[in-house]
Amino acid sequence: MSRLCEGRVAVVTGAGQGLGREHALMLAAHGAKVIVNDIGAGVDGTGRDASHASGVVAEIRKAGGDAEVNGDDVSDWNGAKSLIDQAINSYGRLDVVVNNAGILRDRMLTNMSENEWDAVISVHLKGTFAPTRHAAAYWRDEAKRTGAPLKARIINTSSTSGIYGNVGQTNYGAAKAGIAAFTIIAARELRRYGVTANAISPSAQTRMTEGLRELTEEQRARRNPKWVSPIVTWLASEDSQAVSGRVFQAGNGIVSVCEGWRRGPTIEQMADPVALGPIVNDMVAKARKNVGMDGLDLD
């Protein structure tokens, strides 16, 4: 097997279980040195258990790979910096940041508490921003020091809830939509340093999605988290230098390039809202409808 990430240094957040674990294992199998970050919290973000991250590191080392445990909270500014610093101090460089850590606190909008909103936004959105911010500053300085662009990678985790919309997840969906936008803007800002930024929208059965729907054995097999990691591993490699600012849907039998917001039917601006109303109704009727959770047109 050709090893795509030989000698590269990668940080994977939320890597103790589920998707993050699969990403860490595949990156290591392809030659990357991996910092396995996880605080070991429950699905709702409470509790701590270091054994999950330690177990993944043990698996990587048993297979002949190189990995270290990190238990920092990525939604904490200093914790995120400590994570990035560990990779640089341990391995002398940093090439890849995979932002995967996340929690769920689903609730209908009319019943959602402030804490349920804040906790989800913090882990997903700030937990993507903070490690990326510290890594980006390091890469900027490296590019200036060497006088040449790098081949560094940011790989974020969005969601179908964020890019398509899902009932009961205004907090989670807003965070994941924000991550998609963050990815596009980061790609544009960091291009000058040779840093690419992409995101994945995974369709996988993990502890965060367990119990949401009844699945057959065949459906479970198609939603195994391992099917998401190949696109993450390729994006982490030097081969993906030409791809940036994209969101990929992966898992459940597909890999797809998602196409974002774009301007639809358009008219010249009008001063009279009474006259404008019927025209807007006609424009909306002609516009493409929002898609469903599968990314396809609603009936």
Report domain extents, the chain.
9-257, 263-299
The predicted pLDDT at position 293 comes to: 82
The predicted pLDDT at position 41 comes to: 73
- pLDDT above 80 for 208: no
Query: Please, are residues 21 and 252 in contact by the beta-carbon 8 Å criterion?
Result: no
Task: Give the phi and the psi of residue 66 in degrees, each rounded to 5.
Answer: -125, 125
- pLDDT above 80 for 53: yes
- pLDDT above 80 for 206: no
Residue-averaged pLDDT of the chain: 92
- pLDDT above 80 for 103: yes
Where is pLDDT greater, at 215 or 148? 148
Between CA 299 and CA 68 the distance in angstroms is: 49
Q: List pLDDT tens digits, range 218-236.
A: 766 777 889 999 999 999 9
Q: What is the 3-state secondary structure (H, E, C) of the chain?
A: CCCCCCCCEEEECCCCCHHHHHHHHHHHHCCCEEEEECCCCCCCCCCCCCHHHHHHHHHHHHCCCEEEEECCCCCCHHHHHHHHHHHHHHHCCCCEEECCCCCCCCECHHHCCHHHHHHHHHHHHHHHHHHHHHHHHHHHHHHHHHCCCCCEEEEEECCHHHHCCCCCEHHHHHHHHHHHHHHHHHHHHHHHHCEEEEEEEECCCCCCCCCCCCCCHHHHHHCCHHHCHHHHHHHHCHHHCCCCCCEEEEECCEEEECCCCCCCCCCCCCCCHHHHHHHHHHHHHHCCCCECCCCCECC
Where is pLDDT greater, at 51 or 244? 244
Across the beta sheet with 33-37, the strand order is 66-70, 33-37, 9-12, 96-98, 152-157, 195-202, 247-251, 254-257
Task: Give the phi and the psi of residue 251 in degrees, each rounded to 5.
Answer: 110, 170
The residues facing 169 across adjacent strands are 107
User: With bands split at pLDDT 50, 70 and 90, how would you rate the model's confidence at 45?
Assistant: low
Q: If you average pLDDT over residues 290-299, what whole number do you get?
A: 79
Q: List pLDDT tens digits, range 134-189.
A: 999 999 999 999 999 999 999 999 999 999 999 999 999 999 999 999 999 999 99
| Whether pTM exceeds 0.85 | yes
Question: Which amino acid belongs to residue 93?
Answer: R
- pLDDT above 60 for 108: yes
Query: Please, are residues 153 and 96 in contact by the beta-carbon 8 Å criterion?
Result: yes
- pLDDT above 70 for 114: yes
62 carries an active-site annotation: no
Where is pLDDT greater, at 181 or 292? 181
172 carries an active-site annotation: yes
User: With bands split at pLDDT 50, 70 and 90, how would you rate the model's confidence at 76?
Assistant: very high
CATH class of 9-257: alpha beta
Q: How far is CA 184 from the centre of its chain?
A: 12
Q: If you average pLDDT over residues 105-130, what whole number do you get?
A: 96
Of the residues 172, 201, 237, 244, only one is catalytic, namely: 172
- pLDDT above 90 for 67: yes
Of the residues 122, 158, 159, 237, only one is catalytic, namely: 159
Query: Please, are residues 264 and 288 in contact by the beta-carbon 8 Å criterion?
Result: yes
User: With bands split at pLDDT 50, 70 and 90, how would you rate the model's confidence at 43?
Assistant: confident
164 carries an active-site annotation: no
Q: If you average pLDDT over residues 203-211, what whole number do you get?
A: 62
Between CA 144 and CA 138 the distance in angstroms is: 10
Contacts of 255 (CB under 8 A, 6+ apart): 230, 231, 248, 249
Contacts of 251 (CB under 8 A, 6+ apart): 202, 203, 204, 222, 223, 225, 227, 228
The predicted pLDDT at position 176 comes to: 96
Q: If you average pLDDT over residues 190-214, what whole number do you get?
A: 81
- pLDDT above 70 for 1: no
